[in-house]
Structure 1
Amino acid sequence: MLINPSIIADIQAIIANAQQKAARAIDSERVLMYWQIGKVIFEEEQQGKDRADYGTYLIKSISTTFQPQMGSGFSVRQLEMNRQFYRMFPNTNALRSQFNWTHYKLLIRIDKEEKRAFYIAEAEKNNWTARQLERQINSLLFERLLMSNDVQSVLAVARAEKLPQEPKEIIKDPMVLEFLGLKREASYYEKDLETAIITHLQDFILELGNGFTFVARQKRIHIEGDDFFIDLVFYNRLLQCFVLIEIKTGKLTHQDLGQLQMYVNYYDRFEKQDFENPCIGILLCTDKNDAVVKISLPQNNNSIIASKYHLYLPSEQQLIDEVKKEIQKLDDAQGLM
C-alpha cells in the first residue's frame, strides 16, 4: 500500500516546528541563566566593594572553579559579560523573548543608553536576526538617522510612539549597500546596480528603512508621445506615499535632480490618491555637491532627497568621520539662516 505523501509532509512540518520551539526554549533559558549568574556576581561584588580588586578576584575564582567542567561559557570574559548584562538589564521583565544571547552580546557592547534603546526598539519591531542587528550597528544606523534628526525624535519613531512626519526621519544618508556583493574597484553601469538591488531586494528594503514595500522596476510613464522609465518604485505605508528611486553611478548633477523632480510631479498628478501624501524621490549617487542640491531644489523642498551610497561597509571611523562632516554642514547651514 502507498502512504499518502501529505502525511509525510505533515509529520516533517510537525518535527520542524518542534525543533524550532525547542531551539527557542534553549536560547531563552541560556539568556536567563547568564542573567542570573550576572546578578549573583554583581550582588556579591557589591558586598566586597571596600576592596577595589574584589570583582576581578571573584570572577577569576568562579572561572577557575567552573570552566574545567562547563567549558568556555565560564571563561573570565564570559563572566564579565554576564555581570555587564545584569547591570544593563537589572529587570527580567525588560528582556525580550525574541532575542537570543547573540543579540544581547551585541547590545551590551553599546555604552550609550539612548543608542542601545534605539537598537532594542528597532530589532524588536522589525524582528531582526542577530546578524541583521550586527549589520545595522556596524553601519552606524543610529548615527546616520541622527544626521538630520534629534535623538528624541529618532527614539520615538523607533519605539512606534509616533509616525514619521518627514522623509528624513527614516531615510538615511549615506546608505550602505555592501550586501550587493559588488567589488569596490570595478566600474558599474546603473543597470548592473539596479539588477543587484533586485536580487538582494529584502536586504535593500532593510537598508531603506521601516514601512517600505516594492512596487515596480523600470516603471514606464508615457507623457504625450515620450516614454520615460523610473528605476525603482516603492511605497512607504508609514509615510503613506510612493517613493521613486533613481540610481546614478557617478556624481549627482542638477539635470539628475530635474529628471527626478519630473517623475515625482507625474506621480503626484496622475498616480497619487487623494488620501495619500505627496510622492518622495530619492537620488542614489556615489557623490554629491550639497550646495548644488540646495540651489537646484526649491527652498521648501521636502520631496527630493539626494543620498550617497557605499558599495562596501566602510570602517567605523570612516563612517563616523562622514557623519560628523555631514552634521557640521547642517549646523553651518542653520547658522546662516
Structure 2
Amino acid sequence: MRFSPAALASLAAFVLLLGLGTPRVAEGAILDSAEQDLVTRINAFRAARSLPTLAVSDTLTAAAKWMSADMGGRNYFAHTSLDGRSPTQRMADAGYPAFGTWTGEDLAAGFTTTADVLNGWINSPAHYAVLVNPQYHAIGVGRGYSAGSTYGWYWTADFGGVADVARATPVSRATTQPQPHSAIPAKVALPPDSGYHATWSAQSADPVVYPGAFTTLVVALRNTGSRGWYRGVTEQQATLGTSDPPDIERPELALDWLSANRLATTTTDYVGPGEVGWFEFTVRAPSAGGDYLLALRPVVDGVGWLEDDGIFFTLHVPSTIPGRRVNRVQ
C-alpha cells in the first residue's frame, strides 16, 4: 500500500446535517459538560493511536449543535438534513472553510452517555474510520434533546482538516436544550452503513512520460463492502476520483477521463463483494518538466467517498526530450 507524502490517508466518511426552524444553536464553541467530555474522549482515543488531537472549532460546533437540534425537533435521523443540505454545505454555512479541506461527520441517537456514543462509533467501521482519520485537526460536537422524538437524545460530531479560529456565524438563535425527563426508552441508532467499501490491491509503477506524451495506468481495488459495483448504474458505480484535496480538477493530466476529476470506472460491468476491480486510465504529461503528483480515491457518486488508502502516482516528466518522441497526442 502506498501513502501520499501529503497525508497518511484514512477514510473521510461524509455525513450530512441541518435542521429545524425553531431550535437554536450557541454562537461560538460553548460546550456543555457532556459535549466537552465527548471531545475529551475522542482526543484521548486519537492520542492513544498517535493521531493528532483536535482543536474545538467555533464554526464546526455551531454546525453540529444545529444539526442535533434539528434532528430532535423534526424527529428524523439522517445524514442529509430535511432541507437537502450535505454536511459539507452545513459546515460551510456555519462559516467553516469546508469546501477547501477534509470534512466528515458522525451521528448517533438514543445514547445518554458520552462513553456509549463513542463506543457506538468505534464499533461501526464507517464511523471508526472518521475517528482515526489523520487528516482531521478540528472538531465540533453538539447534542440535542427532544422529549417527543423517537430517540430523545441526538448527537453530532463534525470534523475538519483546518483548525479555524474565527467565531461562527449564527445559523439560528436558540434556547438551551431541555434536560431529559422522559419515559421514552433509550435506543441505539447509528447512520446505516452504505455498504460501499474498498481497499487498495495493486497499481502501476510510477511512469516516466515525456512532455506532451501519454501513458496508461491501472489501479486495482478490492471490494470489501457488502454491495456490488455496477458500471454505468447511478449510485452503484465505483469510480476513481481525484484527491488531495477531494474533487480537485486536473485538466492538465486528463486524457479521455470521465471528467476533470473522475478518471475511470471499473473495466468490468460488475465487481462483487470480495472481488478485485480494475480501473484503467490514461494521463498526459504537461509540457513543462518536473514531478507531478496525482492522488486518487475511490468514490460512488451520489453515495460518498470510499476508504482513502493514500493512492497516488508521481509522474516524472523529463525537461529534455530525446530525438524520437513516442505516444504523442495529436
TM over 0.5: no
Which structure shows the higher strand fraction?
A: 2
| TM-score, normalised relative to structure 1 | 0.22
Larger Rg: 1
| TM-score, normalised relative to structure 2 | 0.23
Q: Whose RCO is larger (CA < 8 A, sep 6+)? A: 2
